[in-house]
């Protein structure tokens, strides 16, 4: 399951991105089996950008956990 992003909690964006990246193959298969949502599929450049955003947010999560 991929969690929803929550506007009031920045770290949910990171959680959502990590889950999506981890489940990339399953998401691709699901979209392939449901052509009506093909427009939601990501190309390799978009997946690369998601990984970059995840990598950017990860140190903030680590610091937040450290100071909590």
- pLDDT tens digits, residue range 1-20? 777 777 767 788 999 999 99
37 in any annotated domain: yes
Full residue range of the structural domain in which residue 20 is found: 11-67
Q: How many domains does the chain have?
A: 1
25 in any annotated domain: yes
3 in any annotated domain: no
Mean pLDDT, rounded, for 63-67: 87
4 in any annotated domain: no
Confidence of residue 36 (pLDDT cuts 50, 70, 90): very high
5 in any annotated domain: no
All residues at 6 or more sequence positions from 17 whose CB lies less than 8 Å from its CB, including other chains: 50, 53, 54, 57
45 in any annotated domain: yes
Record the pTM: 0.81
33 in any annotated domain: yes
38 in any annotated domain: yes
Cα(first)–Cα(last) distance of the chain, in Å?
27
């Amino acid at each position: 399951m991929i969690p929803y992003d929550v506007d009031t909690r920045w770290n949910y964006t990171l959680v959502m991105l990590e889950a999506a990246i981890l489940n990339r193959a399953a998401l691709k298969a699901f979209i392939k089996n449901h052509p009506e949502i093909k427009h939601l599929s990501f190309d390799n450049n978009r997946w690369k950008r998601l990984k970059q955003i995840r990598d950017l947010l990860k140190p903030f999560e680590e610091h937040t956990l450290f100071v909590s």
